[in-house]
A and B are shown apart, each in its own frame.
Chain A
Amino acid sequence: MKNINRLEKFVSQKLMIIVLLITCSVTVACDPSIDSLAFDLPDANSQEDLTPPSALFSIIEGNDYLTYSFSNQSVSATMYLWEYGDGNSSTGVDGANIYSEEGTYTITLTATDNLGVSSTYTAELVVVEPEIPPTLIPVILEPGFDNGNDSRDVWRNSSLGGVIQITGSSGYHEGNNGAKLPDPGSDRIGYQLISEFTPNKTYSLTFKYRFKNDTDDNGLLHVSMLTETNDPADIAANTVGAITFSEDVAGVDDLISGTLVFNSGANSSLAIFFYNEFDESYIDSFEIEALD
C-alpha cells in the first residue's frame, strides 16, 4: 500500500513536470517575438521559380481561310488565355477561332503557371481569301515566222533534224512569212522549248497549216508537245500531246486552222515539235492559251 502511494506520487510528479515542459515549449515556440526566430521569414526556404512559363504557339490553317487552330507549344505553364484579336478568347490548352472577315489580327497567348508567373507570346495573322493564281501562259518566240530567215533560229534543234525553211509564197502563210517543210528526204523539223507552264493545266495550241500536192503520196503533218529532249530516240517517251493532219482529209487548197489540246502535267516547260512526212507542208501563226 505504501509502495503504491509512493508510486502514485512519483507518477503524478513526473506527469506534472511533463505537462509544464510541454506548456513552456509550446508557449516559447509560438512566440514570434523570440529573437532566434526573427529571420525565419515565411518563404525564406522556398525555392525560386526555376522553370518560369514560356509561351509559344503555332498557327494552323483549317479547312477554309477563315478557320484557324492554334497549337500550344508553351512550356512550364498550366493555365492559358487565348485572345484572338477579333474580341474572341478562350482558355483551353489549344486555341481555335473562326474569323468573320478578312483582316490582320494579333493573337496573344498568356501562359501562367501555378505560382502566378506568366509569359505572353503574340503573333500576327493575316486572314485573306487566297487568290487562285492565274494559269501561266508561256511565250512563243517567232510564232508567225515573220522575220524571214532570222525567224528560224529559235525553232532550230540540229540533234533532232534539219532546220525549217521560210516561205513567202502567197497563200501558204499569214503575215510576212511562214514555215515550210519541204518534200520528204530533207528531214526538217521545228522545235522550240517554251515556258512557264502552270503544271497540270489544260492548254490549247492553235496554228495554221497547209499541204502542197508535190508527191503522189498522202502527206502527213505531225505537231506535238514534248518534254525537253535532244535525242530522237526519246521523242515518243517524252510526248505529252500530239496530233497528226493528213493531206487527204485537209486538202491542199487553203491554210486551215489546227488545234492541239494537251495537259502540261508535272512540267513547267515543254517544247513545240513539228515535222512532216510524204509531202510538202506549211505551218504558221502559233498561239497558245489556257483552257482551265
Chain B
Amino acid sequence: MTFNQLTIKEALDALTSGSLKIEKLYQDLDLSIQDKNKLYNIYLNFNTDAKKEAKLLENTQLKGLPIAVKDNFCSKNLPTTASSKILENFIPQYESTVTKRLQKAGGVIVGKTNLDAWAHGSSTETSDFGPTLNPRNPDHLPGGSSGGSAAAVAADLCLAAIASETAGSIRQPAAWCGTVGLKPSYGRVSRFGVIAMASSMDTPGVISKTVEDACLVLNSFAGPDSRDATCYQNPAPDFSKFLDQDIKGLKIGLIYHDLEGLEEVNEKLAQELAVLSQLGAKVEKVQALDPHHAIAVYTVVQRAEVSSNLARFDGVRYGKDRAFFGDEAKRRIMLGTFILSKGYAEQYYNLAQKVRTLYLNDFAQLFKKYDVLVSPSSPGFAKKLDASAGSPMFGELEDILLEASSISGLPGISVPYYRDPQSNLFLGANFVAAMWREDLAIKVADAFEKNTKWNTWRNR
C-alpha cells in the first residue's frame, strides 16, 4: 500500500503521530500520478508548487494534504478552463471562495480535474480535452460532470476532491466510481469563483473516500460568504460531529422503488438497507412525486440559465470566439434562448418554476414523516465509453433519481452499496435530507458505510 491510498482521516492521524512525513505522501502521489494520469485523463493541469506548499502547512487543520479540484473553480495563477477550449488560456487573478478557504485550512490543490465542458453532462465525454476513464474499469465512463474529481479519488491520485453539482454532477460520478459524493444544501457553500452553470442550483461539494473525509473537507469551506448573495446566512455546523451517531428511531423513506427499469438496482438497495433496520432505524417504502417531471423542470430552468451564463463568452475577451463552443454547449444555449423568448417564457420557463414548487411542496410533506429519503443514485452501473454520443438527454436520464432533490436545493450524499464482481463497477445509494439537514443524511450514510462491506478504503 502507498500513502496516497490513505483516507484524509488516516493521513491526518499518521501525520499527527509522526509515522508519516508529508514529503513521503507526495512522493507516492507523484508516482501514482505519473503512472495513471495519462491513462485515465484525470488532471488537466497541475499545481507544480503543491509539495512546496504542503511542507509549510503542518500545523493546519488539513496539514497540507493533496486535494483535487474540479476545473470549474477559479484558482489564482492556475489555468481554469471548465474543460472548454474557450478558456484554454484563461488564468484567473482571483480565487474561488471554496479553494481559498480550503487552502487556508491547509488543503493543497494538486491540480485541476477534467469535467464535461462547462459541467454540461454526466459522462465527462463532452470535455474539450478528451474523456476521463473510470479507474474501476477503464472501458467505462466515470460519470459526470465531476468525472475527473471522482476518478481522482477512485485512483488515489488525491486524498479527496472538490466538485460541484447542479443536478447529479457530484453524486452520479461518485456512485459510478465507487466513491462518496456529498452535495450540501444549495446555499450552504459559496458559489463565488465557480464558473456558473445553472446559478439557481449550482452547489459546490466534495467527492471523497469516506463519509468521514467528506465531512472533514466540507468543514473547511462551508458557511456564509459575503461575496455570494444566495449563500445561507447561518454558520455551518461541524459536520464531523454527526459521525458515529446512533440512528435508532430515525425514519427512512425508500423512494423511487417502483420505477420501471430500476428493478435490479432497487432490489439490491432494499437488501442492503436491511442493515439500517438492524441499527434501529425504521425503513419503509414511500411514494414521492414522479421524478420524470423533474427532468423537464430541470432541463428548462437549467438551459435558460446556461444560455444567459455563457453569454459572457462572446468573443470579445478570453481570446477565443463562440465557434469554440462544443456541440453540447451550443445545444443548451439555443434551447435556453428559445425557452426565454417572448411568447415562450410563459409556456416553458414560468411553468417549469411552478412545477418546481410542486416538488418543493412534495418534499416538505415527505420530510414531515421521514428524516431521510433514500434511492439509488443512478439507474445502473457506469456506462461504457461513447455511451453519451448522439444522446443529448443522456445526462438527464442518468440523473433522473437526483434531479428532483437538486431542483429543490436539498442536501444529499451518495455512498457505495454494491460492487459487481465481474466488472468491478459500483452502485451508489443517495441519502437525501431536508434543507440544511446535512446532519441527518450524514448520520445515516456514515452508519450505512461503516456497517456494510462496499467501501473499498474501509475494507482493504
Bound pair (A, B) = no
